[in-house]
Structures are given as structure tokens and as C-alpha cells.
Structure 1
Amino acid sequence: MPRLKYASVLRFLVILGLFCLSVQIMLSASNGIIDRDGEELMNSNDTSEQVLALVPPELHKYLTVHSKNATANATERASPKNVSDIRRAIQRHNDAQIIYNEDIFGPVQNDTIIIAIQVHTRLTYLRHLIVSLAQARDIDRTLLVFSHDYYDEEINALVRSIDFTKVMQIFYPYSIQTHPYEFPGVDPNDCPRDARLEQAKKLKCNNALHPDLHGHYREAKYTQTKHHWWWKANRIFNQLQCTAGHTGMVVFLEEDHYVADDFIHMLHLLRATADKSCPQCEILCLGTYLKTYQYHTTADKVEITPWHSSMHNMGMVFNRTVWNNIMQLQEQFCAYDDYNWDYSLLHLSQNRPGREKFRVILCKGPRVFHIGECGIHHKKSNCNASTVISKVQKLLQNAKSHMFPSRVTATITAGGAKHNKKLTKGNGGWGDIRDQELCTNMTKVGRQMRRYINYA
């Protein structure tokens, strides 16, 4: 082959190779973007402008994202290198029981509304939950308790920047982050999820004799949520000094919830209506999973019905009396083979000796919304936090004239077939005896003395 022709062919092959490589890189980058959590997309796309437009300027500070931390916004963050330091920090903060802004808004009273927020790592959702809370009427009379299962300085700084009410942070001490290579995290000798019983016996892996009811072995990322919820409730009702005599309402929220500005107003109306029309109602509920919303007909309507976990677990509210009833059946909660805390409560509700199932009074027009399109149970490839948040913002803006009703009308229903269907078995994921024992032991931790310590 002539030298000139050979050089031309070689040049063509090099260019073709570079082109193919660039295409591959672009496709990989594109797939990477598709697989990211919605909060990263939220921080990088233009649609966040429409969200900001509906947020008061003075609250933009809670939405500020620093560029140096842009790579730290993924749903599953890498654990800090020094686990021992994280454990010590968690211990210090849990011992101190500091209530921020108490000097401004006064001490916690026995009837103070406590808003318990379960936090993982989805920072963008948490930012918008805080923005929604900041706009709620009478929020300055509440105590926000942020319960974390991941210790992160950026999240901590955001929470401690809240200046509109009292704030406390508590840290779940048995997390995957603090136990990365041992139970309750992932022990190297844990049985593979899909190992068969005989295979697990030959491997002599941990708890080989106790798979769940579906034949699977534990997955720490799923069991942690139920553990965290149970620990958080025990911590608030049984262990904090500021709640020793608390008899008021505790509202249970999660980091990917969003509240209407009249949610506290509605909470009081629900409580008053329950006292009058449904003394046996043990649970109040501020959120429902509706596909469409008709606030012009439902904003002042409430429903009394049997409680069901998948329908009435968002913005759920109860007090110490109800918690004590749950505690009487704590062994059933901890032994029930279901990794979901809400289905475990449903199991208790349906199996209370000599008592009826939990009854709930709920808002027909919800005041708590789920904005988490991405997360542990939601793996949408096109999840975009700002799209859902914007829809909720506009929905509430359009319903503004129907909010803050002076009174509500209650309807009593027997519930549908799903409400009343008896649970025959759980969803699994909770067959490991270690999980059951950890759950049970959480109720045995006593109330700790509150210490005022200024940690640098």
C-alpha cells in the first residue's frame, strides 16, 4: 500500500476511534444524569427558577446550594472516613439534648406540638420541607425534632440555621453509617439476600437459619427505616427530658414531605372534632395520597374511618396515650416480619386483644404532601424534585381562599375493602433475629439527663 494512502487510512481510523470514544463518554454521562437523584437535577436545571418564584425572598436562604458541595447531594452519600469521630459526635449531641432558639421562643410546654421529622440524606427535599414549615401559621409555637440516621455537616448546618421556631436534633446511633461493616450495617459474613436455606447453612453465614417469610435474608438499607422510626418514637416519648411530662400531639413527618400553611390550624380542628364526634379516634392524619385535589369542596371536610397504613401514614399524629397503647404490644411490633414500620403498626391495630382497630380522623383536602419522587422506594429514572414541588406550590396557591376554615364537617365511613382486609402475613425483610432483638432493646433505654454543653 502506498505510504500516502496508508497514512490516510490510519488517520481515518484514529478519527473514527476518537469519535466512538466521545460518543461512549457522552452516553455514559447521559446515563449518569438519568440515574442521579432528583435533587441533583434540581440543583442544575432551569425549572428550579419556577420554584423559587413561589418562595418568599426571605426564605431563599434555606434553598441556597453552595457549589463546593454540589457533588455531595446524591441520595446515597459516601460515609465519612472516620466512623469513630461520627459516633462520638452523635453521642455528644444526643447527651446534650440542646434545644436551639429556646431563648427566643420559650421552653417546651407539656402541650407544645412536637413535629418529628425523619431525615436521611435527601437534602433538596429537606430544604423545601423547611421552607413550607417556615410559612405555616403558629409554627413559632412548636418544637421541630429532626431525627437523623446520617450525620452530615451540611444537613446539620441547614437545620441549625432555622430561626422561626424551636429546634432539636437527635441522631439514630445504630445506623449503617456508624456500623458500616457490622450489624446493624452490612456484616461481611451476612447471608446473601437470595441465598437458599441449604446454601446459607453451608456458607455458615450469619443467621442462616432465619430467612424472612419469603426465604430472603436481611438488607440493612431496608431494615434501617423501621429501626429508625421505632427509635425516634421511643426517644421522643420515653427518653428526652423536655418531653418527660408531655401530653400534647406529636406530628410525624419525613424529609420529603411538604406542608400547607394552615396545617397547624387544621390539626387543632381535627383534634376538636375528634374529641366531640370520635373520642375513640386515636390517630389524626393530615395527608392523603390523592391523585386529584378539589379544595373548593374538600378543604373543610374531614373523614372518620378505620386506619390503614398505606393510606394514613403521612402527617400522622398521636399523643402519649396512644403511644402507651402501642408500647403494650411492642413485642408484636418488633417480631412482625415486615420491614415497614407502618405495616407493623397495622398488624398491631388488627390484633389488639379486646380492642377495635385504630380509627383515624383525616383531612379530605390534604395539608401534607409527598414530594419525594426519588428515594429508597422510588427509583424513577426521570425523577425531578422541582417538578413535583412546583405542582404542590401552585396547588396550594390556587387553594388559598379555601384554607383556614372556621369549622369542619365530619363524615363517618366504614372504609373500603382495602381498609378492612385482614393482614395474613407481612412483607418480609424482618426475619433476622438480630433485627428483632435490636428493636426490642430500644424500648429499654431510660430517660437521659439533659446537659447543656457548648460543643465547638
Structure 2
Amino acid sequence: MKASSIVGVGNTCRGALTRTLVLVFLATFLWLQIYVINLTTRDWPSQTTANETLYSLVPQELHRFLKERHNASATTNATSGCLTNPEISEIRQNIDRINSEQRVYNEEAFGPLSPDAPVIVVQVHTRLIYLRHLIVSLAQAKDIEQTLLIFSHDVWDPDINYLVQSVDFCRVMQIFYPHSIQTHPHTFPGEDPHDCPRNIRKEQALLLKCTNAQHPDLYGHYREAKFTQTKHHWWWKANRVFDQLTVTRNHTGMILFLEEDHYVAEDFLHVLRLMERTCKHSCERCNVLTLGTYLKTYNYYSDFSRKAEVTPWISSKHNMGMAFNRVTWTKLKKCASLFCSYDDYNWDWSLQRVAQSCIPPSKGAGAVPRVDSGLIAMMMRAPRVFHIGECGVHHKKNNCESTAVIAKVRNVLKSARNHLYPTQLTLTVAGMVPKKKLRKGNGGWGDLRDQDLCWNITLNTDLVLP
């Protein structure tokens, strides 16, 4: 064979090999692209997919609570802070009327409330989407018809009112915090134009002669109404429910405190009753029952579904889905002076201080942690109350609908269905807990007007406000 022929054959072979390698590379690259797209789709479902999953888990008859209401006329103004003086006056009159009437919806269908039946109190602001899903979860709970469901509002919103008054699966009541920012937009407890700016130094404030110049908080900042309102509202609704409402004034059962961005398991009332009975027999010093947890993973399998932990009450761990009765409330109210004067705008951190330095440790049978604390919590390890809120006072995100979070919670509960409704609880007791050093408050509560308002709420005294 000639040399030129050998070279030609070699070139042909190398060309064929190169083409083959290129084709293999392209095929591999294409396969990887398709794989990555599929993987991404599985890990990050689209909003449509998440919504479809969510709605498929909701019984058809409950979809009405999830639907938008398009025929409200005054909703935009009510929640935007653009109310006129006549509109504010009308809202105040409506609030006074409803608080005075104390109407219990659906009482004719479900009869009078039993003295020891659970009462559920939901603190509501403006997050309608979350509230819809909470109501759907409550509607699916076993024995919900035995309860009284109280919605406590700090904003008058026609859409929210319409939704609440559409609830037909139990007794329902609405109460309205009367000293809100909405009804006092330019005067205390709202933002008075003569109030000191938050970050101004006291020396400057005194020269400026702003209203509260003498009373910054312990960090040198002046009050912000949007933060102080939450503590006022929580304290007002507790006083209102335990001591002022005719339907609950002599109530002896548990009062369960929820918020608009919570979600409950179908057996939460069953577990609450079980915890209440367990306290009487095995932990007389347990005086706060906690159904929620801030853990990101949940385990309902084996015996975890019936495990409860006994531990000193800690504000950042045991404030979700917490319940207590009149005995505990009486102890808390005796410490109202400390609660109202403690320089912290958080109601739960204020309760933490009360528990550590005002309420004496109670005596009773049953193993409890060796700690000097007036509040002892019994907390479910497998939660029956979940936090679904992605946005709130302290957190803002681009997407506040939390569709994926709600779908996750629903799927968790669906997979755990066979492990719900335990017949008894297994208590685990925290070991000896060292006494915590009393910490400084978070501030935001240095203004004497806030402290006076809080104290007048305790006394049920009509504070003269503009």
C-alpha cells in the first residue's frame, strides 16, 4: 500500500472517532440538561403545583373559606391607613357596639357553652390569607363544635369580618381591641406628630420638647406604636376573656391562645383534653400547656405522637398554641404591675420576666424540673399547632402566601394520621435546670403612657383617649 493511502485511511478513522466523541458529548450534555430541569422542578415546585396540592388536601365544602370576596367596598381604606375622620368615627361606633353586645354566633345551633369546654382565642391583625387556612384547619378538628371560638381584632376589616361571621361549625364571637392604631392614627396609642422620633438622643429630644422626651427605653430609643400595640392587644384580650365577657367570666376550662398565622391538627382538642387530665394526675405544677413547637422537623411515629416534655416555660419555645386556665390567669394578673412596667414590647418576654421574678413556684405532686419558676410547661413533642406565617411584624418576604409551607404541614399531618389521637401521654421531665439570670428587656416600652394604658386595661378602667 502507498503511503498516501495509509494517511488517508488514518485521517478517515480519526474523523469518524472525533464525530463519535462529539455526538456522545452532545447526547450526554442534553441528558444532563433534561435531568437538571426535572430535578429542579421536583425540588422547587411552581406556585400552580403547590396550590393544586394545597387545594387537593382541602375538602370541597371548605373551599368557601379560601375564596376571595370581591364585593367589599371599604376594605382598601380600612387596611391602608387612609381613613377619613368620619370613617374612623364610624369604625369606633361599630367596635363599641359589638364589644357591648357580646354576641355569640351559632349559639342557637350548638347550645350554651359548657363551663369546662375549651375556649380558643385567635389574635387577628390583617393577614387574611393565613386566617383562611387557620379556619379551614379548625373546621376539620374533632369536637370543634364543643368550643367557643373568639376572634380578637385590632383592625376593622370588612373582608375579615365577613370571613369570621361565615364560620358555622362552632360558636363564634368577635371582640375588638378599642385602642388600636387604626382608630387612633394621629394620637396616642397611635403615632402622635408631637412624639419623639425613635432614634433621636434624649438631649436632642429635650431641646425639641417632643411629648415623651423624658421617657426613652433602656436602649435610648422612643416608642413605636406598631410594636407596642401587640403587647397591649394580647393583655387586653386576656383580661377581656377571663374577667369581662359574660359567656366566659366564670369559665373553668382551658383558654387556648392562637394567632392568625397558626394551623391546627385535627386531634388538637383531643390532645389538649388529654394534657389537661395528665396535669391533674401526674403533674399538678404544670400550669401552661403548649401544643406548638418551632422545630422544623416533626416525628409522629412509634410513641413520639404521645410524648410530652415537662420544662420551665420559655417565651421563645413555648408561646405557640399555649393554653392555661383561670388559676394560672389569677397568678399572672397579680403580677400585672411588673408585666405593664417591664421595658419589653413583647408580651411573651414580659411573661417570661413575670414567671421568673413574680410568680412563686407552685407546690404539687408529680416530677417537675428543679427550678425556681412560676410557669411550668407541658409541651407536646409532636406538635398539634403549626406556624405557617412567612411574613409579620418582624419579617417581610416577596411571597407572603406561604402556600408551600401550608402544603408541607398538610402532608405531614396526612402521613401521620394513623399516629394521631393517643390514648395516654408519656411525660419526659427536663433535668435540673440552672436558674437563668434575669435578662434585660428588649426595650420599646419606656413610655409611661404605654405603661399607664396597660395598667388601666388591667383595672378595666376607661382611659380617656383622644
Give TM class, smaller chain: 0.7 to 0.9
Give the whole-Å Cα distance in 2 for the aligned partners of 1:70 and 1:137: 36
**1:424 corresponds to which residue?**
439
Give the whole-Å Cα distance in 2 for the aligned partners of 1:266 and 1:74: 41
Q: Displacement, 1:288?
A: 0.8
**1:33 corresponds to which residue?**
none
The change in CA–CA distance for 1:69 and 1:86 in structure 2 (over 3 A counts) is: closer
Give the whole-Å Cα distance in 1 for the aligned partners of 2:61 and 2:214: 57
1:87-139, Cα deviation, whole Å (9 max, x unpaired): 00000000000000000001122112100000000000000000000000000
**2:390 corresponds to which residue?**
373
Corresponding letter in the other structure for 1:85:
E
**1:412 corresponds to which residue?**
429
Matched, 1:103 2:118: no
- 1:369 is paired with a residue of what secondary structure? strand
- 2:93 is paired with a residue of what secondary structure? helix
Q: For 1:21-100, what aligned pairs fall within 5 Å after superposition? A: 47-67=50-70, 77-81=80-84, 82-100=87-105
1:135-174, Cα deviation, whole Å (9 max, x unpaired): 0000000000000000011100100000000000000000
Alignment equivalent of 1:157, drawn from 138, 157, 162: 162
Q: Displacement, 1:286?
A: 0.4
1:76-96, Cα deviation, whole Å (9 max, x unpaired): 633533100000000000000
Q: Displacement, 1:254?
A: 0.2
The change in CA–CA distance for 1:295 and 1:73 in structure 2 (over 3 A counts) is: farther
Give the whole-Å Cα distance in 2 for the aligned partners of 1:146 and 1:353: 29
Corresponding letter in the other structure for 1:342:
D
Corresponding letter in the other structure for 2:183:
T
**1:274 corresponds to which residue?**
279
Alignment equivalent of 2:233, drawn from 224, 228, 237: 228
Alignment equivalent of 2:379, drawn from 362, 371, 380: 362
Alignment equivalent of 1:168, drawn from 166, 170, 173: 173
Across the two proteins, how many residue pairs are aligned to each other?
A: 402
Give the whole-Å Cα distance in 2 for the aligned partners of 1:169 and 1:241: 13
Alignment equivalent of 2:150, drawn from 136, 145, 149: 145
Q: Displacement, 1:50?
A: 1.9
Any conservation in 2 of the 1:306–1:415 contact (CA below 8 Å)?
no
The change in CA–CA distance for 1:429 and 1:47 in structure 2 (over 3 A counts) is: same
Matched, 1:264 2:269: yes
Q: Displacement, 1:273?
A: 1.2
Any conservation in 1 of the 2:75–2:158 contact (CA below 8 Å)?
no
Q: Displacement, 1:46?
A: 5.9
Task: Give structure 1 stretches of 5+ with no counterpart.
Answer: 1-43, 448-456
Q: Displacement, 1:380?
A: 2.7
Give the whole-Å Cα distance in 2 for the aligned partners of 1:353 and 1:132: 35
TM-score, structure 2 normalization: 0.83
**1:395 corresponds to which residue?**
412
- 2:284 is paired with a residue of what secondary structure? coil
Deviates more, 1:351-360 or 1:166-175: 351-360
Give the whole-Å Cα distance in 2 for the aligned partners of 1:353 and 1:366: 27
Q: Once the two structures are aligned, what percentage of the paired residues are identical?
A: 55
**1:303 corresponds to which residue?**
309
Q: Displacement, 1:341?
A: 0.3
Q: Displacement, 1:49?
A: 2.4
The change in CA–CA distance for 1:198 and 1:445 in structure 2 (over 3 A counts) is: same
Any conservation in 2 of the 1:197–1:209 contact (CA below 8 Å)?
yes
**1:340 corresponds to which residue?**
346
**1:41 corresponds to which residue?**
none
**1:327 corresponds to which residue?**
333
Task: Give structure 2 stretches of 5+ with no counterpart.
Answer: 1-46, 362-371
TM-score, structure 1 normalization: 0.85
Q: Displacement, 1:75?
A: 12
Any conservation in 2 of the 1:238–1:446 contact (CA below 8 Å)?
no
Give the whole-Å Cα distance in 1 for the aligned partners of 2:73 and 2:377: 42
Any conservation in 2 of the 1:239–1:446 contact (CA below 8 Å)?
no
The change in CA–CA distance for 1:79 and 1:302 in structure 2 (over 3 A counts) is: farther
The change in CA–CA distance for 1:278 and 1:228 in structure 2 (over 3 A counts) is: same
Q: Displacement, 1:294?
A: 1.1
Rg larger in 1 or in 2?
2
The change in CA–CA distance for 1:150 and 1:79 in structure 2 (over 3 A counts) is: farther
Any conservation in 2 of the 1:338–1:430 contact (CA below 8 Å)?
yes
Corresponding letter in the other structure for 2:441:
G
